[in-house]
Amino acid sequence: MAQKDKRKAVKRMLANLSNDNFANFVDELVHRKAEPRVARMRLEGKNYLEITDVLVSTFNESGAVKVAAELLNEIDCNKEAEQLLEVTELQP
């Protein structure tokens, strides 16, 4: 899958989360222990487009997919994580 398509897949996934799940996703991203970490100030008050940009600029396209799937599983959005990995042809 092309890198641009991975970015679009992450963007679509974030756009389709409920407000509560989106807030939980961002909270998990802020509190993620693995490096590289994302500062709270880069995420606060941001919409799904801006969060997508932060994910891609921090982790690159493939890394953004993997981190997004990891965080989705953390917030019990397992179906969304599985779909994201399937669409982007990445393994968990």
The band of 81, judged by pLDDT with boundaries at 50, 70 and 90, is very high
Handedness of CA 41, 60, 57, 86 (dihedral sign): negative
pLDDT digit string, tens, across residues 15-66: 999 999 999 999 999 999 999 999 999 999 999 999 999 999 999 999 999 9
Give the chain's domain count: 1
For residue 65, the domain's CATH number is 1.10.533.10
- Enclosing domain of residue 26: 3-88
Cβ contacts of 10 within 8 Å, gap of 6 or more = 52, 55, 56, 64, 65, 68, 84
DSSP secondary structure string, 8-61?
A: HHHHHHHHHS-HHHHHHHHHHHHT--SSSP--GGGTTT--HHHHHHHHHHHHHH
pTM for this model (two decimals): 0.91
